[in-house]
Structure 1
C-alpha cells in the first residue's frame, strides 16, 4: 500500500462493483445511477456521441459509472429500431451486405466499442440475413469483441445461436423455448436477464414465459447476467429489487445472483449485510469505491443521493462479519 494512502473502516461487506449489463446511456442519468450504487454499465445501443464518447471518458471519471458500449445497433435496412420514436439519429446502423457488415464492425472497433449489438426483431420488421449475421459475428471475433443479440419473434433466438452469437440481450419472452434449444444455449451462451421490463412488478404472461425460460437455462448450466434495460420505460435508477426478485423466482440462489451483478474488477461496493444469504442485499448499497474514490450512497424513500468524501482511497477495510 502506498505510504500516503487513506484507510477507511466501513461496517458491512465488500463486494466487487455492481454492473447493469443492459442500459441505454442516451436515455438515463448516469450520475444518478452511480449515486444509487451501480458502478458499471454495458450500453447496448446508443448514438456514438453518447455511448462511445462515455466509454472513452468514464474509466477514470469518478463521477460516472464505468461504461462499456456497443455503440449503435446493427440492423437490416428498415429493421428495428428504425421504427421507434426513441431511437435517436445515429443509434442504429443499417447493414446492407456481408462486406458492409465487416466494415460496420471494424468501424465500431476502431472507435472503442467493447462489444457489438445486433437487432433481430422479426416482430418489428426486416432482420439481418444468415450470411450478414455470420459476417458480423466473424468480423467481431477477428476484432476480439463479443456479439450480443436482441432476438424477438419466432425463430430469432435459434438464428442467433446458429450464427455463433455469444449472448442474448434479453431472456427470450415471446415463446417458450424447447428444452433441447435451451440446452444448446446453456452450453454456448450468456443471457442477460431483463425480466422486470415485462410488467414492471405485474406478473404478465411475458414475464412468466421469460422466467420459465431462464429457470431452465440456469438449471442446465447457462450463465446469467443481471441487466435491466434501463432507459426502456419507468424503471428504478439503481439496483432493481424487482429484477433481483425475478432472478430468485427463476431459481438463482443468492450466490448466483451476486455473481450475475457484482463483477467489476476495478470498483467496489459496500453492502450492509451478507449477500450470500440474502438475494436482495445488493439493492442496499451503502457506499462505493469508483475510480479510486470512496462515496457514501444515501438512500431515501424518494431519491438516492451521494456525498463524496475528499480524496482517493487505496484500501478499504471492512469490520469483521460472518462469511459463508
Structure 2
C-alpha cells in the first residue's frame, strides 16, 4: 500500500540535517519522495494512506548491531535455550523481534544462532511472512572446545575444522561470521573472559575463509590478548573490546590506533542495564572499563550501537537505555541518533539499503513525539514504526 507519512520535523541526513514540516512517500516498500509536506502531498497518488504527526519527528529506523534473538534475556538464558526445543526457540525469536520493533529498531545484527533458527526467521521477515526488523544473521558462532557459547553448536579445533564451520555457515546463508576470540561471561565452566580461545593465525583463517564468500567477521573479544589477535587477523568489528587482562585492565594505545587506522568498528554492546552492571561489577572497575571505551573514541575509533539483547537483563524493548551509555561517554543526542541510524547502517554494509531518509532506500521509518536531536528521551515516545515498508502497529 502507498503511504504518506508527514511530521513537524524530518531527519533527512546526518549532523542534524532537518526538514521542517516534511513528508515521505512510500511505494512498494521504497521511499520514493521526500520534501516539504505540501509539495509531497501534491505529488502523492489519490487515495494514499496518510499519517500526519505535526508535533513529531520522523527519522530512520534504529539499528541494533548486537543481539541474540535465540536468548530470552531472563535470569538464566543459557539454561532456557538448552532446555527448549527448536519450535519453542523459534516462537521466542518471533516474540522478541516484536519488542525490537516496539522500540523503533528496524535492523538488527544477530551474533549467535542455534540450528539456523534466526536465519530462517530472517528469511520469513524478508518474504513478508512474519513481522520483524531486518536481520543480518551470523549463524553458528565459532568457539573453542567447551568455549564461550559452545551450546550453540560451534565448537571447533584446528584450521580444518574452522574452515569447515565457516563454509557450513556460508552454505546456510549467513550474512557474516562470528568468532569468539575470548571467553565470555554467560558460559559457566568456560574459559575466563580475558582468556584467548584462538591464536592470531587461527583467526586469520576465519577471516580468510569468510572473505572467500565476501562476508565480514565479528569477533567477540574481552581480553587484551584476544583483541590484539583479532586486530592482527583483520576482523571487521570487535564486540565488547573491554581490554580485560588476567590482572585487571590493559589497554594498548598502539593497538587502539591500529583499530582506528584499519577502520575496525567497535561495538561496546552496552546492555540496557549497563548502570546495574556497573553497580554489580563495582564502580571503580566499571569506570575503568567504560573509560577504555571513551579513550578509544578519543583516539579515533568508531563505535557501533548494540545492546547484547538476549543475555540476562539485556531486554529487547529498551534500546534507548543502551543509547544513554553513549551520552555517558560524551556524545550529544544528535550524534547518538547518527550512531544508531546512518553510521550503524554504513558499518554493516547497508548504506544503499537503510539508515537515511532518502529516495531509493527501503522504507525503515520511525516517528517519535518530540525532538530526539535535542532530547534522547523522545525516542521512547514512539508513534509509528515502518520496517521495510510494512507498518508495525
Q: TM-score, normalization: structure 2?
A: 0.67
Q: In structure 1, what is the equivalent of residue 170 of structure 2?
A: 109
Q: In structure 1, what is the equivalent of residue 211 of structure 2?
A: 141
1:51–1:69 CA contact under 8 A, matched in 2: yes
Asked if 1:58 is matched to 2:125, the reply is yes
Asked if 1:23 is matched to 2:90, the reply is no
Q: CA deviation at 1:149?
A: 0.8
Alignment gaps of 5+ in structure 1: 296-307, 309-324
* Structure 2 counterparts to residues 49-198 of structure 1, below 5 A: 49-61=116-128, 63-82=131-150, 87=151, 91-122=152-183, 124-125=190-191, 127-172=197-242, 174=244, 175-188=249-262, 189-196=264-271, 198=274
Bigger shift: residues 277-286 or 98-107: 277-286
Asked if 1:47 is matched to 2:114, the reply is yes
Q: CA deviation at 1:160?
A: 0.7
- Separation in 1, partners of 2:270, 2:287: 9
Asked if 1:10 is matched to 2:37, the reply is no
2:103 pairs with 29, 36, 41, which one? 36
Larger helix proportion of the pair: 2
Mark the CA change 1:220 to 1:154 in structure 2 (over 3 Å): closer, same or farther.
closer
* Structure 2 counterparts to residues 253-272 of structure 1, below 5 A: 253-263=332-342, 265=354, 266=362, 267-272=364-369
Mark the CA change 1:102 to 1:34 in structure 2 (over 3 Å): closer, same or farther.
same
2:321 pairs with 228, 233, 242, which one? 242
Bigger shift: residues 113-122 or 61-70: 61-70
Bigger shift: residues 233-242 or 161-170: 233-242
Q: Deviations over 1:265-295 (max 9, x none)?
A: 1311112222222244333322111232223
Mark the CA change 1:238 to 1:226 in structure 2 (over 3 Å): closer, same or farther.
same
Larger radius of gyration: 2
Question: Secondary structure in 2 aligned to 1:73?
Answer: coil
* Structure 2 counterparts to residues 277-288 of structure 1, below 5 A: 277-288=374-385
Q: In structure 2, what is the equivalent of residue 299 of structure 1?
A: none
Bigger shift: residues 145-154 or 120-129: 120-129
Query: RMSD in angstroms over aligned alpha carbons?
Result: 2.3
Q: In structure 2, what is the equivalent of residue 298 of structure 1?
A: none
Q: Deviations over 1:13-44 (max 9, x none)?
A: 11111121111111242122222322221111
2:178–2:217 CA contact under 8 A, matched in 1: yes
2:180–2:221 CA contact under 8 A, matched in 1: yes
Alignment gaps of 5+ in structure 2: 1-24, 28-44, 73-95, 185-189, 346-353, 355-361
- Separation in 2, partners of 1:258, 1:210: 24
Q: CA deviation at 1:56?
A: 1.5
Question: Secondary structure in 2 aligned to 1:57?
Answer: helix
Question: Secondary structure in 2 aligned to 1:152?
Answer: strand
Q: CA deviation at 1:139?
A: 1.1
Q: In structure 2, what is the equivalent of residue 303 of structure 1?
A: none
Q: How many positions carry a matched residue from both structures? A: 289
Of structures 1 and 2, the one with the larger relative CO (CA 8 A, separation 6+) is: 1
- Separation in 1, partners of 2:367, 2:336: 16
- Separation in 1, partners of 2:135, 2:102: 15
Mark the CA change 1:60 to 1:291 in structure 2 (over 3 Å): closer, same or farther.
farther
